C-alpha cells in the first residue's frame, strides 16, 4: 500500500503523530499501573527526523499528560502537542497554524484507518501514513532535506521556545518594543563568513513570508558573493531569554555601498529571514542597518526589489514601516517591484538591542 | 469621515486589541499612526490584522495596495475598507 496525499516529492516540514498504538505500544488510558512503553521503531524514526530538522508534533485523543509522557520517552521537545477530543483534521490545522507550516508539507501517522481516511479527505495535501509506512519514511526523499544545518537540527526546540515566547507576549500587555526589551532580545548583525553559506542557502530555500527574491540561491553563488568586491553579505543572528535562534536572516547589499564603485544608488538584491524572527524586531533592525550602511558608503537612495506575492505581505509591511515605497507598475528587469527610500534625513530607528559588527 | 467609516474604525480598533492583546488599543484615535510610533504595529500584528480584515470584510488590502498606504492610520484603513464594501 502506498501513502496517500501530499505533493509529489515535496519536502515534509512537520510530522504529526498519533499516540495510542502508534508512538506507544498500547493505549495510554487503558493501562492500569503505568502507561504503555514506546514503540521503539517509530520513536526512533521520530528522533531521526527531528535530527534532520523536521518538526515533530503529536495529535491524540488523550489528556495532555499523554503528550508529556511521549515527550519524556522521546527525550526531546515536541514542536506542538495537541491532546484533546477534537477531530484529527482540526488538531492538524491548529498545529499548522501555530508552527506556520502549510498542511501540504505535513505528514500524519496513525494506526487507525478511520482517522487516516478523515485526514486524507479533509486535508488532501497532508501525506497520510500507516505506522508501517512511517517506519520506512526516514529513507524517503520527502524526509531527506538536502542541507542540514545546526539551526535545522534544533528546529523543534526553537519552535517550542517560540510557543513559550508567544504565551509570554500575549500576557505581557505593553507594546511589542517593550516586550522585546523585557525578554532580553539580542539582534547581532555581522558580515557573513564561509561557515554561514549552508545556512544562507537553506534560508533562501525555506523562507517565503520574509523574502524579497522568492527564489533559492545556490551555495556556490553565495560563496562567490562572499568574496565579491561588489557585494556585501550580511547575517542576522537572534536570541533572547527564551533561547538562541542562531542565524535567522541575511541580506546582500550591492552598488555604491557594496563595493568600490561609488554612486548614489545602492541596491539590496536579497533580503531573507526565517519566519521565527517575525514580530521580534530582527527584520526592522536589518532594514534600518542596511539604510545606515548604504548611507555611510555614500549612497543617497536605497532600493529593495521585491517580488510581490500573497505570502510575503509581512515583508512588505516591514518595508512600509521602514519608509520604503514602490511606484505601482514600475518593475525591475525580473518583474520585481522596486521599493526604495531616500537616505537623507531621518533613517528608520535602530533599537538599542541591536549589535552591529563591522 | 462618515458614520459608517467611524464605526468601522471602532471595529478595527477592537480587532487590533484582540490581535495584540493590548486592551488600550480598543479606544485608539482614528488618526493614530499604525506602523510607525503610534500603535506600534509590527509586521506580525499587521499581517494578522490584514488577514482578519480579509476574513471579516472580504477586502484584500495587500492585493490592492502595493505600498500598504491604507495602514497609515486606523482611519485610512477604515476608509479603504468602506470604499470597497
On whether both A215 and A103 belong to a single domain, the answer is no
Assess A150–B contact: CB distance below 8 Å, yes or no: no
| Residue numbers of A between 152 and 171 with CB closer than 8 Å to B | 169-171
How close does chain B come to A41, measured CA to CA in Å? 39
Sign of CA dihedral A183, A270, A289, A322: negative
- pLDDT of the residue at A358: 59
Of B43, B67, B69, the CB nearest to A318: B43
Asked if residue A163 is part of any domain, the answer here is no
Q: Report the pLDDT averaged over residues B45-64.
A: 91
Of B40, B62, B68, the CB nearest to A176: B40
On whether both A44 and A179 belong to a single domain, the answer is no
On whether both A22 and A94 belong to a single domain, the answer is yes
On whether both A185 and A104 belong to a single domain, the answer is no
Residue of B nearest to A329 (CA): B66
- CB contacts of B70 in chain A (<8 Å) are none
Q: Do B66 and A308 touch (CB under 8 A)?
A: yes
On whether both A211 and A79 belong to a single domain, the answer is no
- CB contacts of B69 in chain A (<8 Å) are 320
On whether both A186 and A283 belong to a single domain, the answer is yes
How close does chain A come to B36, measured CA to CA in Å? 6
Query: Which grid coordinates are listed for A333?
Result: 528587469
Whose cell is 531616500? That residue is: A342
Last residue of a domain, one of A143, A163, A190: A143
CATH code (residue A191): 3.40.630.30
How close does chain B come to A120, measured CA to CA in Å? 26
Assess B63–A contact: CB distance below 8 Å, yes or no: yes
- CB contacts of A176 in chain B (<8 Å) are 20, 40, 42, 44-45
On whether both A126 and A183 belong to a single domain, the answer is no
Asked if residue A167 is part of any domain, the answer here is no
Q: Is B18 helix (H, G, I), strand (E, B) or coil?
A: helix
Whose cell is 506602523? That residue is: B35
Query: Which grid coordinates are listed for A19?
Result: 499516540
On whether both A120 and A186 belong to a single domain, the answer is no
Assess B37–A contact: CB distance below 8 Å, yes or no: no
Assess B7–A contact: CB distance below 8 Å, yes or no: no
On whether both A297 and A218 belong to a single domain, the answer is yes
- pLDDT of the residue at A315: 95
On whether both A108 and A191 belong to a single domain, the answer is no
- CB contacts of A315 in chain B (<8 Å) are 43
Asked if residue A6 is part of any domain, the answer here is no
Whole domain around residue A287: which residue ranges?
A: 175-356
A202, A185 contact by CB (below 8 A): no
On whether both A328 and A287 belong to a single domain, the answer is yes
Encode pLDDT of B12-27 as tens digits: 999 988 887 788 888 8
Give the A:B interface size as CB pairs under 8 Å. 66
Which bin fits A100, alpha (ψ -120 to 50), beta or left (φ > 0)?
A: left
How many domains are contained in chain A? 2
Q: Do B67 and A326 touch (CB under 8 A)?
A: yes
Assess B43–A contact: CB distance below 8 Å, yes or no: yes
Residue of A nearest to B60 (CA): A310
Q: Percentage of residues in chain B with pLDDT exceeding 70?
A: 96
CATH code (residue A94): 3.40.50.1000
Assess A321–B contact: CB distance below 8 Å, yes or no: yes
- pLDDT of the residue at A169: 81
pLDDT mean by block of 10 residues, chain A; 358 residues? 51 95 92 87 94 93 91 91 90 91 93 90 91 90 83 80 80 82 95 96 89 93 94 96 93 72 80 90 96 92 94 93 92 92 93 86
**pTM as predicted:** 0.75
Residue of A nearest to B67 (CA): A325
Domains and CATH numbers, chain B: 3-82 (1.10.1200.10)
On whether both A236 and A121 belong to a single domain, the answer is no
Assess B48–A contact: CB distance below 8 Å, yes or no: no
Asked if residue A195 is part of any domain, the answer here is yes
Q: Which residues does residue A193 pair with via DSSP β-bridges, in sequence order?
A: none
Residue of B nearest to A330 (CA): B66
Q: Report the pLDDT averaged over residues B64-69.
A: 95
Asked if residue A38 is part of any domain, the answer here is yes
Asked if residue A307 is part of any domain, the answer here is yes
- pLDDT of the residue at B45: 84
Asked if residue A342 is part of any domain, the answer here is yes
| Residue numbers of A between 230 and 269 with CB closer than 8 Å to B | none
Asked if residue A164 is part of any domain, the answer here is no
The residue ranking higher by pLDDT, B24 or B63, is B63
Residue of B nearest to A173 (CA): B22
Amino acid at each position: 500500500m502506498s501513502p496517500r496525499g501530499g505533493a509529489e516529492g515535496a519536502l515534509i516540514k512537520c510530522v504529526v503523530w498519533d499516540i495510542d498504538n502508534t508512538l506507544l505500544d498500547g493505549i495510554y488510558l487503558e493501562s492500569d499501573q503505568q502507561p504503555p512503553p514506546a514503540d521503539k521503531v517509530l520513536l526512533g524514526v521520530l528522533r531521526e527526523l527531528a535530527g534532520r530538522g523536521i518538526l515533530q508534533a503529536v495529535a491524540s485523543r488523550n489528556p495532555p499528560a499523554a503528550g508529556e509522557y511521549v515527550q519524556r520517552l522521546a527525550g526531546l521537545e515536541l514542536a506542538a502537542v495537541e491532546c484533546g477530543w477534537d477531530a484529527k483534521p482540526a488538531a492538524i490545522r491548529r498545529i499548522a497554524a501555530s508552527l506556520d507550516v502549510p498542511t501540504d508539507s505535513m505528514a500524519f501517522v496513525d494506526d487507525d484507518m478511520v482517522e487516516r481516511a478523515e485526514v486524507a479527505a479533509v486535508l488532501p495535501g497532508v501525506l497520510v501514513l500507516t505506522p508501517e509506512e512511517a517506519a520506512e519514511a526516514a529513507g524517503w526523499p520527502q524526509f531527506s532535506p538536502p542541507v542540514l544545518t545546526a539551526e535545522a537540527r534544533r528546529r523543534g526546540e526553537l519552535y517550542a521556545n517560540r510557543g513559550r515566547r508567544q504565551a509570554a507576549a500575549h500576557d505581557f500587555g505593553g507594546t511589542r518594543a517593550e516586550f522585546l526589551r523585557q525578554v532580553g532580545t539580542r539582534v547581532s548583525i555581522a558580515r557573513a563568513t564561509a561557515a554561514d553559506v549552508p545556512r544562507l542557502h537553506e534560508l533562501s530555500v525555506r523562507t517565503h513570508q520574509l523574502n524579497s527574491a522568492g527564489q533559492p540561491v545556490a551555495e556556490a553563488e553565495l560563496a562567490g558573493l562572499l568574496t565579491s568586491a561588489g557585494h556585501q553579505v550580511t547575517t542576522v543572528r537572534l536570541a533572547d531569554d527564551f533561547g538562541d535562534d542562531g542565524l535567522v536572516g541575511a541580506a546582500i547589499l550591492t552598488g555604491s555601498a557594496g563595493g568600490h564603485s561609488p554612486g548614489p544608488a545602492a541596491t539590496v538584491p536579497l533580503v531573507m529571514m526565517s519566519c521565527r524572527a517575525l514580530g521580534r524586531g530582527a527584520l526592522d533592525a536589518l532594514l534600518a542597518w542596511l539604510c545606515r550602511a548604504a548611507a555611510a558608503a555614500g549612497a543617497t537612495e536605497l532600493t529593495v526589489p521585491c517580488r510581490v506575492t500573497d505570502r510575503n505581505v509581512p515583508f512588505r509591511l516591514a518595508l512600509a514601516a521602514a519608509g520604503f515605497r514602490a511606484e505601482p507598475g514600475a518593475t525591475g528587469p525580473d518583474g520585481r517591484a522596486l521599493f526604495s527610500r531616500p537616505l537623507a534625513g531621518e533613517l528608520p530607528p535602530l533599537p538599542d538591542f541591536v549589535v552591529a559588527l563591522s | 469621515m462618515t458614520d459608517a467609516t467611524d464605526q468601522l474604525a471602532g471595529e478595527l480598533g477592537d480587532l487590533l486589541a484582540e490581535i495584540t492583546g493590548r486592551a488600550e488599543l480598543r479606544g485608539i484615535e482614528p488618526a493614530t499612526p499604525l506602523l510607525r510610533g503610534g500603535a506600534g504595529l509590527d509586521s506580525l500584528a499587521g499581517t494578522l490584522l490584514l488577514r482578519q480584515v480579509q476574513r471579516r470584510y472580504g477586502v484584500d488590502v495587500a492585493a490592492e495596495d502595493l505600498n500598504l498606504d491604507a495602514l497609515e492610520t486606523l482611519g485610512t484603513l477604515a476608509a479603504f475598507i468602506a470604499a470597497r464594501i
